[in-house]
Amino acid sequence: MIGLNMKDSVETLVAAYIGLGSNLDNPVAQINSARTAIGSIEGVSELAFSSLYHSLPMGPQDQPDYVNAALCIETCLTPLALLRSLQAIETMQGRVRKEERWGARTLDLDILLYGDQEIDVSDLKVPHTGISERSFVLYPLFEIAPRLIIPGKGVLADLVAKCPLNGLRQMA
């Protein structure tokens, strides 16, 4: 369990959405392990989890395909405390941060949404960059929160309607 101190928490619970992705070292197991680890963070409880989705890699195409999912949590953690906790889980699961953008990775955990907040600080941008154009984010989100409104972007259902699948498919 990852610990919590007072400066890491907010007074009211906030719904946050996390994108999960992996394309190395048994991606399905990586996603499932991350889900369990996120649920063990003090101040976090799971509300909904999407199906797993198979997606083509973004960026360099000389890497394995991805497995993606979306998770809705309720948390009392601040956005930056949540980010630190997610990055600790990535590290525990073998993620090595490289300068290469969109490269292969054991695990990628992104805060997609944090309540209805728009956040733009050096370490964190919420809604997540590119959220409104990425099928591997929009479709899993839509599965668990079809009435969601993305701050500054619009109604999720409208964004999904405009976003081609680009090879995305729900896994059995």
The whole-angstrom separation of Cα 142 and Cα 148 is: 8
Q: What backbone torsions phi and psi does residue 53 show, to the nearest 5 degrees? A: -125, 140
The Cα 150–Cα 10 span in angstroms is 21
State how far the Cα of 73 lies from the Cα of 71, in Å rounded to an integer: 6
Q: How far apart are CA 158 and CA 119, in angstroms?
A: 22
pLDDT at 101: 62
What SS3 class is residue 68?
Answer: strand
**Distance set, CA 79 to CA 16, 118, 161 (Å):** 9, 11, 29
How far is it, in rounded angstroms, from Cα 68 to Cα 137? 8
The model's confidence at residue 56, banded by pLDDT at 50, 70 and 90, is very high
Distances (CA, A) of 118 to 17, 24, 126: 13, 31, 5
Architecture of domain 6-170: 2-Layer Sandwich (3.30)
Distance CA 94, CA 89 (A): 9
Active site residues: 95, 105, 108, 110
What is the per-residue pLDDT across 58-107, written as a single tens digit (0 to 9) for each?
877 788 999 999 999 999 999 999 999 999 999 999 877 666 666 678 89
Work out the average pLDDT over 127-134. 93
Task: List for the chain the helix, strand, coil content (%; round to 5).
Answer: 25, 30, 40
Cβ partners under 8 Å of residue 76, min gap 6:
4, 9, 10, 11, 12, 13, 14, 43
| pLDDT for 2 | 45
| Cα separations in angstroms, 12 against 6, 19, 21, 43, 155 | 13, 22, 28, 11, 25
Q: Please write the tens of the pLDDT for every residue from 1-49.
A: 444 455 777 778 999 999 999 999 999 999 999 999 999 999 999 999 9
